[in-house]
Structure formats: C-alpha cells, structure tokens
Structure 1
C-alpha cells in the first residue's frame, strides 16, 4: 500500500474516531448529577438522625456548658456537698418542663414526619414503578397497615427518646455530673487520639450482644418481634421498637456520658454517625458504604436481618458477626423459627425449605451488593 493510500485511510478514519470519542464523552448534564441528589438526601437523613430523638438539644447543652466554666466548678462542688434530694432534683432539672420537653418533642415530630415523609414519598411513592433500581427487596412491600403501624410505634418511641434527651440536656446545662469534657487534651493527647474509636467500638460491640440477646426465643417473642413486624423495613421503622428495648439501647449510648471520659465533640459526633446509619440501614434502599468506611456494612446487611430474622446482628461494625459466626452464610438457610444466628445447613433442609429459601434469595436486589451481584445466588 502506498503512502498516499495510507493517508487517505487515516483521513477517512479520523472523523469516525472523533465521533466515537465525542460519543464516549457525551454526557447529559441537563439532569441533576447523582452526587448532588445523594448528597442532599444524606444531609436530610443526617438532620433527621440528630433531631428525631431530641439529641440536638443535648448537643446544644454541651456546647453551652463548654462556654461556661462555672458549670464545671458547680459540678465539682455539688459532688462534695450533700443536699436534700428534692432540692437536688429541682436544681438539676430546672427548665425541663415545659421548655426542654416541648422543644425536643416538637422538633422531633417536625423532622421525623417531614424528612421521613419526604424520603418515603421520594422512593416508595414516586419511584414505586421501578423498585429494581433502588429497593433492597424490590419484589416485596410492606402493607399499608404495617406502614401505618411502624409510623405509630416509631412516633411513640421517638417521643420517649425526646423526653429522655430533654432530661439529659437539662441535667448537663444545670451542672449535673458527667464524664464529658470540653478541653482538648485534658486527659492526655494519646487518649484524645484513641477515645473516639475506643468508645465507638465498645458501644457497638455491646450493642451487638444486646441485639443478639434480644433474639433469644423468650425476649424475641415478647419484645423484639415487634420490630421484626417490618420484614421490608423503611426509615420509619428505625424507632419502631418496643419501649423496653428502646430504652435499654439508649442506655448503651448514654453510658459514656457517665462512665468514660470523652470529649464532647467526639461523643456528639459518634451519636450523629450512629443515628445516621440507623436510618440508612432501615431504609430498605440500596445504600452502600463509602470508601472510607471499611468497618461499615452496606444497607443490605441489616435488610437481610429483617428478611431472614436471626442473623447479621451487628450494626455499624460487620466484624462482630464474622468473629462469632452469626454473619449470613451462603450454605445455610434462615427463618424466624431458626434461632441463635447459626442457620440451618442446606444439606439438612427439606425440598420445601430449599424452594422457599431460593425464592427469598431471588427477592434480593443485586444492586444492593458490591459489584452489583447477589452473592447468595
């Protein structure tokens, strides 16, 4: 082939190559980019997380106390000076009613129904025709009765949480005892570096066992089964828990305030993270962990817990289930009547059990898993 012919071929191929390149680069920027939508939704979930239990009020109380050194000296003085119980309680909880309780509950209701309602409408109403693009269990939906049920139960628990947070905020603002501190490095710079991961891992591990214990037959039947009414959970189900169970888990998260020295920013930030992921993990939406969260399971992890009941007990650290053998395994089947997180070996299952389990697995959305592939099929 002559040089002239080669030049002609190159000239004829250049426009086609350019067209292919333009096609690859062509992006319809008339639509809103996904990162903006996901960022806004994450922001709304974050706001819902810190407001629906009234924790925002406690955060503000810690901030005010950090700006008033006299409150800490008041705490030290009250710890050494005996006083009448009635007077002591009055001093600690001055302003609790109506200011703190009304403020906490009103804001909780506003954001629980406002943001929770928006998320529900945005996904479960406006995108109901294409659940395979966003829903963890696209073939299964809560009935209207159960949706109303979870909203009512969730509303009742968040009311309890709001009153509890109001009481804690009143306690803090009136100089009550707490191990929370406000001066960076007060207990040494080494502790300042490790306190957040230490307290986070400790509370999450305690929560793992607390959750697992509530899955024992007696406690499950009388308390935790209420939460598992919602086999396809939504954001509203995050607080749809029996009051006894709700208060016990709140005690785990409150515990560091009175037992472990931890900086206010670290403690409040930890609560924000926990409550944010509590909503995400109950949303029923195919949210996945971000690149900087190697410890955090994807949303499908807890959705599996609701779908298969006695498995995947961890919340924010997937490692606990791996260590204790309670993470869902491919060669086992799980049902509400198979307790203790061990499942049942496929080799021991009947034909009917295998068929039912296979249908359950096909009801899971591959998009909820890493690499967009259902790893249990």
Structure 2
C-alpha cells in the first residue's frame, strides 16, 4: 500500500496506529471509508477476476443507475409506466394501479415519500460508495491517469461534509419527488404528460427532445449564474463550492433552497408543454447522468455524438476557479454570454460575474497562485491530452 507521502507498507492488516508509525498520514488520504469496510476486501477479491472491459461496463451501468434514481425518480417513472399501461388497455384501468400502491388518495402520500427516499439514499450510498471505491480507493495511486486534479484530494472533514449535506438535500428532493409522484398517481390534472406517442403528432414527438433539453439547460444556466451573484453566492451557493475537488457525492451537496429551485426548473416542462413521459424522463436521466460525471472529479470526456456536451473538466474548472463555466450540458451558453473560461484571464472566488480579470489587473502574487492552479490540472482531462489553459512564457510577456 502506497501512501500520499510516498512510503509503502506491505502488510495490509495493520491498525491505524501502526500505519501512522509507518508514515501514514490520514489527513492526506481522505475518508476512504469504503476501503475500511468489511465489503471492500470482498469486492477486491471478486473484482480481480473481472476483465477490464467488463469492469468499465459495470461502472457505466452504475453511473446510469445512480443518475436514474438518486433524486427518487424511479417511483415517478413507475407511476407513469402504470398510467401508460392503463391507457393502452382501458379495460384494466385502475386495476393495475390498485395493486401498485395504497388506494387511499391522501394516505398514500407517505408511501410515495418513503419509497422515493429509500431509492434515493440506497443508490446514493450503495452505488455512490461503489464508484468512490472503484476510483478513489482502488485507483488512488494512479490518479494521474483518471483524476482532473490528480495531486489534491479532499480532506476527511470535507468528504464527511459533502456526504452530510448531500444526504440532507437529497432528503428534501426525495420529499419533493414523492409529492410529485403522489400527485401524478392520483389527480395530476395540471400535468401535461401524455402517453400515446402520436397524441400530439409525430413532429412534436421528436421536436420536444431538443426543445425541452435546451430549455432546461438554458434555464439552469441562468439559475446557476444568479446563484453566483455576491449575495446569493455568500448565503446559498458557497456551500457547494466548499468542494474544490468535487466527487460524485458533491452532486447533491447543495443548499436545500437552491436544489429545490433547480429541481423545480427541471420539472417545469411538465406543466408548460405536452411532454411524452418516456422522452421527458429520458432527458432528466441524461441530465442527472452528466451531473454525476461532471462532479465526479474524473476525466470523463463527451462522446463523438455529443458536440454540445462539455467534458467533465469543464465543470471541474468551475469548482476549481469558482465564477466561470456556468453551463451544464451545453457549453454554448457560456460562449454566448462570455462566461466561458479564457486562457488569458484570472479567475478566483473573489472575482465575480464570470468574466475574470486580465493579467495586468491582478497582483503578481495572485497571478503566481493562478499559474500554480493551472499546473495542478491534468492534461489528460482535456481533448488531445493537452491543457489548453496552460501558459507559456510568451503568454506571460503579454501581461
């Protein structure tokens, strides 16, 4: 076992005290709670027999499951599935629903909230724990191959903090999702979700995908940007930016007021325009999927068929430099509004509004700190495996 200070210990079963005597520094190692668990060694024993390509498939599926259920949306998806079945077979209307959840319209609210919370917390800790183990424990000594900021890991205090607040905000979102599920299962008259694909014509069936996706992303861009204004940042969003080296657990570690604000924005198409239930939740899962990837701290890159999608380093830069790169799934919004990170600008927590400052507008000390930050980024996280924001001597001469 190799520790952050470079020393190696061969015996795997040493106590923490014995490890400290051998040079182990727990403050540098992070929580690593999954490594200390009973199941970690069992997973390691099984995993060594799994081919690398199959392991990568498992990780992709794990992220998908994490994304599809972390907000408690599985219960909502099941509700709409049963409603789809009911509309497809009117003779069995109400029959299937009666066997799916309590028939009491008011009393069933608690049922939906509990199921939503169970699915959220289950995936958060089980799947989230697996992803944490796979990268941050299993491949910790190879961080230069996969991590956006390979030299720095969050402290134990911050890891516990993100899990605590992630759990708190997840409970708030689970409650909200449970209420929406309950409403959809009972009345749902103000929801414009439909179930027959041709109900509003095939043209709208396909057009709603880019329209809803761009509407949600542009709205969340502005919500995110507003939360970076000094007052809102100080009282709400700063909490999320405690995590300068984010992990997948950071995705829900957001102030409860803000996370409700974002969730309502993502849910708003349901009451504004007709949306097919499969397409709408497909878009949501895509958004959640990339939300997890973008906060993972891992050098994931967009696929060839996603020209609109920024790589994970885009949002990792946002956490590292604070007030820049506000977009989520479409990088064009930042290009359009001048908040895209630029090579010849300096970004810090005390430089607001997403524009940064020119080299000649900051002190030599601030510029030196900025250069050090740039060196801590992993070139492998960028396209072409080259840090496009690294500075040369010629760049600095233009200061």
Distance 2:297 2:89 in 1: 44
Q: What is the total number of aligned residue pairs between the two structures?
A: 330
Larger Rg over CA atoms: 1
Match of 2:80 among 41, 54, 62: 62
Matched-pair contact (CA < 8 Å) for 1:234–1:283: yes
Deviation at 1:64, TM superposition (A): 0.9
2:7 corresponds to: none
Q: In structure 2, the residue corresponding to 1:129 is in which secondary structure?
A: helix
Matched, 1:172 2:190: no
1:155 corresponds to: 167
2:36 corresponds to: none
Deviation at 1:129, TM superposition (A): 1.5
1:309 corresponds to: 322
**Runs of 4+ deviating beyond 6 Å:** none
1:140 corresponds to: 152
Aligned positions of 1:92-171 closer than 5 A: 93-97=106-110, 99-171=111-183
2:65 corresponds to: 47
1:248 corresponds to: 261
Deviations 1:111-141 (A, max 9, x none): 1101111111121122221211111001111
Distance 1:323 1:92 in 2: 47
Q: In structure 1, the residue corresponding to 2:140 is in which secondary structure?
A: coil
Q: In structure 2, the residue corresponding to 1:96 is in which secondary structure?
A: helix
TM-score after normalising by structure 2: 0.80
Distance 1:70 1:44 in 2: 32
2:305 corresponds to: 292
Distance 2:175 2:227 in 1: 24
Matched-pair contact (CA < 8 Å) for 1:153–1:241: yes
Instruction: Name the CA shift for 1:48/1:93 in 2 (closer, same or farther; >3 Å).
Output: farther
After alignment, is 190-199 or 238-247 more displaced?
190-199
1:221 corresponds to: 234
Matched-pair contact (CA < 8 Å) for 2:194–2:277: yes
Matched-pair contact (CA < 8 Å) for 1:71–1:173: no
Distance 2:361 2:350 in 1: 15
Match of 2:293 among 267, 276, 280: 280
TM-score after normalising by structure 1: 0.84
Deviation at 1:349, TM superposition (A): 2.5
Where structure 2 has 5 or more consecutive residues not aligned to the other structure, the ranges are 1-47, 91-102, 391-399
Instruction: Name the CA shift for 1:91/1:71 in 2 (closer, same or farther; >3 Å).
Output: farther
Distance 1:324 1:34 in 2: 42
Distance 1:140 1:168 in 2: 40
CA RMSD of aligned residues (A): 1.9
1:195 corresponds to: 208
Match of 2:350 among 333, 337, 355: 337
Deviation at 1:185, TM superposition (A): 1.8
Deviation at 1:36, TM superposition (A): 3.1
Matched-pair contact (CA < 8 Å) for 2:74–2:119: no
2:14 corresponds to: none
Deviations 1:232-283 (A, max 9, x none): 0000000000000010001011111111111111101001101111110000
